[in-house]
Structure 1
Amino acid sequence: MDKSDVQHVEGIEPDICHPEASWAKYIPGGYSPSRCIKVRGSSMINSILVLAGISIMFFGYDSSCMSQVDTNDDYLRLMGTDSGSARDSAAVGGLVSLWFGGFGIGALLVGALADRVGRLKSLQIGAIWAILGCALMTSAQNFTWMAFARVISGIGCGHLNTIVPIWTSELADSKARGAFVAVEFTLALTGGTIVYWTEYACIKTQSLPFAWRFPLGFQVVFLLFILFATPFYPESPRHLIRTGRVEEAREILLRARIDPVESEIEREITEIVAAIRLEARKPSPSFWKLMTTSDELHTRRRIFLGAGVQIMQKFTGIDFISTYAPEMFALAGYTGNKPAILAGCNFFGYTASLAVSIYLADRVGRRRLMLIGSSSMFVVLIVGGVLSHEVISLADSNPSVASGCGAGVTTVLYLYTFIYGSTWLTTCWVYPTEIFPLATRAKGTALATVAFSLAGGIINEIVPYLIDAVSFWVFILFALLNLVMLVPIYLFYIETAGRHLEDLDYLFANDSPFVWNAERDFAAIKSAEAAADSKAAVVISDEAEKSG
């Protein structure tokens, strides 16, 4: 397909293009060519990263905002959960988990809306949900009020956290998608760090009501920026081509590349159009059909992989260290303010680990990072379990040795968090946005995010009981889970780094689910294409010589 073929797409829109829903025009904002910022190259990339980064920073802030609210005496009294009973512990954990339920609903809304109204309007809708949730949480007066607020806040956060990686992955160069998401999640951890220390400072210097209400309300600052800045940003070029706006997509691709080469831009458009033609053979499937029907693109298998990576990232054990960090540092033998201070300092190393992820994401690849990360976390968690056992057993008989072992546990917790941040954190969010065909990318990514919310809700509900019930064995439990996860990663997770999104349709079209078979057949396809291109070039050269 040459350039004229690509241009012809706009002329046959009823056949392969899918216009936005007729009611989408009534939603204010979204993309406009005249309103879109006019910068190019690195300036455009940096601008995209600002909006995406602040959106994901809100995710980091919102997902961590309850860490010290849950221990605030005024909050516990108002929620009726201050008696210290098992029922109260379950209720407090339930309020945390309700956010994950809303998160899943928000992800499903993205799957239903993103292709019908566009990526940017979806982003704005998510910001409105989150603003409403923020206002309700800040003003909560009882348990029921807070429960509804947590769900609504989760809907907004899930909406944003699903659409932003889709939007950036469809705008990013194939060689930099991983780095894009790594930069975004560096800011997510920055958001988590901000809220942790904001809450700590408020607890130490302000009244108890202010100490939990102010941090919950402060996140509206991020959301207002997202809401009002989004209309000035470029839409996904893949969404524009899918809706028949090829020239607008071409202009955005030229602006979003540091050193744009026209032939490469045309090749990318050609690949997108070819993918749209392939997907136009059948109507866009529903969520139910995606999960229950087999097709030639093996979308159902991709859902298992996308959902699987999100579930596995929760079973690496990161929540039992990040969300319940003070309790974990207590297993190192620390008391008083030390567990909270150590947990807060851990956020700095966690954030710094993303610098490593930015460097490694596209150089090492998703598959290798997952394998390296799980292997390394298995080792350090085993060591942490052994040291924590020594802390507990020697606390009375040999306090000095127990103290040394406690320092070792602290080192393990810091090291574990750094490993997770530099390997898994980026991978688990970028991988689902890469593996789905364009027609089902929004719905597929949404289902993967729902898996994240379900796994997160379950883990956050049971981890407090695990820590109380099994103590240091919680280290060993998650170490073994990391070891088990190496098997499906090695067998089924195809490498996506450095490949055009449309090339992945060839990789996943293989009937075999095993990585080596897909890679072998993909290499054969590419070899055949290269040979055909070479032959065509020779023919063109010969014809040119004859005509000359």
Structure 2
Amino acid sequence: MADEKIEASSSHVEDQPSVRVTEQFFQAEPAWSKYIPGGYSRSRCVKLSGMPMVICILILAGTCLLFFGYDAAVMSLVNINPDYLEHMDSAGGTSKDAARIGGIVSFWFLGFLVGALMAGSYADKIGRLKSIQLGCVWGIFGACLLASAENFSWMVCGRIISGVGCGHLNTIAPIWTSELADYNLRGAYVSVQFTMCVAGATMTYWMEYAALKTQSLQFAWRFPQAFQMVFLLFIVLVANFLPETPRYLAKTGRLEEAREILGRCRLRPSEHAIEQELAEIQEAIRIEATSSAHGFISMIWKKDALHTRRRVGLAMGIQMMEKLCGPDAIAAYGPIIFGLSGFTGNLPALLAGFNFISYTCSVPIGMYFVERAGRRKLMLIGLLVMGSSLLIAGPLARMAINTPETDLYKKKAYGAAVVAFVFLYTCGFGSTWITCCWVYPTEVFPLATRAKGVSLSMVSFAVWGAVINEVIPYVISAVGWWVFIMFAVMNFLQLIPVWLFYVETANRHLEDLDILFASDSPLAYEMEREFGEKKRALGFHADAPAPVHTV
């Protein structure tokens, strides 16, 4: 079993500081990859180290997620634009029209699903940076179609192709940063990216709001679709000058380049620490090469020594739960949700815009706590805060709606209370789950299946995102303020699987997690107990970095 393999091959780095993996475990890039321009080049990569290099990495990754946030929210006010509705033949206000508009939003998730699977299938072969650049090409093509759309079918094609590009970027960018980051900074890296993601959503909302008020209706929905090309062109250009991940370089046999990138990307590099980390990466490559679960199907169905199937379940499960928390209902249908507070006219749209701003401001809170409190505690706290906020907001919304206009003071007071608790819900999500649900899938998979594993988690994100975005308008129409209670219950129910199965991954080397997941038990507390026993048996403290294994 994996436990025996790992323990039998373990030794301290000081006993053998230079660990080598035989060439049979290396996987050279396929010959066809040279026909894909761009990507990493040792001679072209910027000669920066430490914090300057980290800043460059975060700028590129942040722009990738800025595009994701922008593209995901770009339909927020487009959906109520009269000129857009006329072009889509959906201006009648019927249930059929609502289905067509919701379908256009949801088709983006279909493209996202396809893009995630595509990126996962070749990111381990051609590298992270080339995969990101290919995603940009899809995104640019999609943006051109969206900006020029004249009918429903045209718009659907544009949404799908744009989603393919976004699926590439959102799958690979977090992997790229997680594999470049110090082990105790992975969560902070992802938090920075998703601060940019929410900033992108905020940007597009207010851009569309301003355009609706100052420009023609046609400009107000076409210009935001075209503007996203600016981000994509920036990514395509800048990616040529940044480093590939040391784990990918080591996997393809370029150990000297991997060592060099490790030294440049660490804030406090030392020769001993770099050699130890490179040794851990090499041993992980050796162990993972013996796993039988390397393809999408085998990862889901086949039981292997690394428990890849369990990791797939955790990664896909966290994305499903993230959608069931209810953030899409607040983000994509914000004006409708804030209309449940009893406010009318232009105020619900303004409140939705201010909610995006509070959302953006809350994400850096997660940046501070994601490593200090850990993923597990932050998710549990977030579920409690979000569930409680919505549970209170529901009855308040009922009071706001049912209070007659003659008692305007009380009606506004109830409405303001609803708004306050919805804002609290949004801040709870932004400061906890938006970071955890994206960093967790990048951590739980071994190197050999990391790109494919994260892409499978993106499939879950896309499927559940499409379902939620399609049904939410009908749910709100059918149950009104009860939608708050519905999502509150979902948040509380999710406390159970998080408590039972989601083991802590913070402040652990990615290679350390192979030992953690070697446990035959899926229960988090059993995995932690066995992990501690193994580490102590090898002479390490349970919280110490993983021991280096030799071949």
Tell me if both proteins adopt one fold, taking TM over 0.5 as the criterion: yes
TM-score (norm 2): 0.94
Counterpart for residue 221 of structure 1:
230
Counterpart for residue 450 of structure 2:
441
The CA distance in 1 between the partners of 2:331 and 2:540, in whole Å, is 51
TM-superposed CA distance for 1:394, in Å, is 1.3
Answer whether contact 1:6 1:270 (CA < 8 A) is retained.
yes
Is 1:316 the counterpart of 2:329 in the alignment? no
TM-superposed CA distance for 1:354, in Å, is 1.2
| Residue identity (%) | 52
Counterpart for residue 537 of structure 1:
none
Is 1:275 the counterpart of 2:258 in the alignment? no
Q: How does 1:235-384 map onto structure 2 within 5 Å?
A: 235-282=244-291, 285-384=294-393
Counterpart for residue 125 of structure 1:
134
The CA distance in 1 between the partners of 2:187 and 2:404, in whole Å, is 45
Counterpart for residue 399 of structure 1:
408
Answer whether contact 1:118 1:235 (CA < 8 A) is retained.
yes
Counterpart for residue 544 of structure 1:
none
Counterpart for residue 416 of structure 1:
425
The one-letter amino acid paired with 1:189 is V
The one-letter amino acid paired with 2:388 is V
Partner of residue 68 from structure 1, selected from 53, 71, 77: 77
The one-letter amino acid paired with 2:286 is R
Counterpart for residue 107 of structure 2:
98
The one-letter amino acid paired with 2:58 is L
The one-letter amino acid paired with 1:506 is I
When you count helix as a share of all residues, which structure comes out higher?
1
Answer whether contact 1:284 1:439 (CA < 8 A) is retained.
no
Q: How does 1:162-173 map onto structure 2 within 5 Å?
A: 162-173=171-182
Partner of residue 186 from structure 1, selected from 190, 195, 202: 195
Relative to structure 2, which stretch is displaced further, 155-164 or 391-400?
391-400
Unaligned runs of 5+ in 2: 1-10, 542-551
The CA distance in 2 between the partners of 1:427 and 1:19, in whole Å, is 33
The CA distance in 2 between the partners of 1:38 and 1:295, in whole Å, is 41
Answer whether contact 1:56 1:185 (CA < 8 A) is retained.
yes
Partner deviation per Cα, 1:420-445 (whole Å, 9 max, x = no partner): 00000000000000000110101110
Counterpart for residue 87 of structure 1:
96
The CA distance in 1 between the partners of 2:388 and 2:369, in whole Å, is 21
The CA distance in 1 between the partners of 2:265 and 2:486, in whole Å, is 45
Is 1:457 the counterpart of 2:476 in the alignment? no
The one-letter amino acid paired with 2:495 is L
The one-letter amino acid paired with 1:475 is F
Relative to structure 2, which stretch is displaced further, 257-266 or 440-449?
257-266
The CA distance in 2 between the partners of 1:172 and 1:340, in whole Å, is 39
The one-letter amino acid paired with 1:17 is F
| Structure 1 residue matching 2:150: 3-state secondary structure | coil
The CA distance in 2 between the partners of 1:342 and 1:127, in whole Å, is 33
Change over 3 Å in CA distance of 1:401–1:371 after alignment to 2: same
Q: How does 1:433-512 map onto structure 2 within 5 Å?
A: 433-512=442-521
Counterpart for residue 535 of structure 1:
none
The one-letter amino acid paired with 1:443 is K
Answer whether contact 2:90 2:101 (CA < 8 A) is retained.
yes
Partner deviation per Cα, 1:356-395 (whole Å, 9 max, x = no partner): 1110111111000110000111111111001001111213
Counterpart for residue 67 of structure 2:
58
Answer whether contact 1:387 1:405 (CA < 8 A) is retained.
yes
Partner deviation per Cα, 1:202-247 (whole Å, 9 max, x = no partner): 1111111111000110010000000111010000100000000111
Aligned residues, how many?
530
Answer whether contact 1:7 1:246 (CA < 8 A) is retained.
no
Partner deviation per Cα, 1:399-424 (whole Å, 9 max, x = no partner): 32121010000101111100100000
| Structure 1 residue matching 2:200: 3-state secondary structure | helix
Answer whether contact 2:293 2:304 (CA < 8 A) is retained.
no
Answer whether contact 2:19 2:282 (CA < 8 A) is retained.
no
Answer whether contact 1:6 1:273 (CA < 8 A) is retained.
no
The one-letter amino acid paired with 1:464 is P
Counterpart for residue 219 of structure 2:
210
Counterpart for residue 159 of structure 2:
150
The one-letter amino acid paired with 1:139 is S
The CA distance in 1 between the partners of 2:187 and 2:357, in whole Å, is 21
The CA distance in 1 between the partners of 2:493 and 2:288, in whole Å, is 36
| Structure 2 residue matching 1:96: 3-state secondary structure | helix
Give every structure 1 segment of 4 or more consecutive aligned residues whose post-TM-superposition deviation is greater than 6 Å.
Answer: none
TM-superposed CA distance for 1:333, in Å, is 1.0
Unaligned runs of 5+ in 1: 533-548
RMSD: 1.4
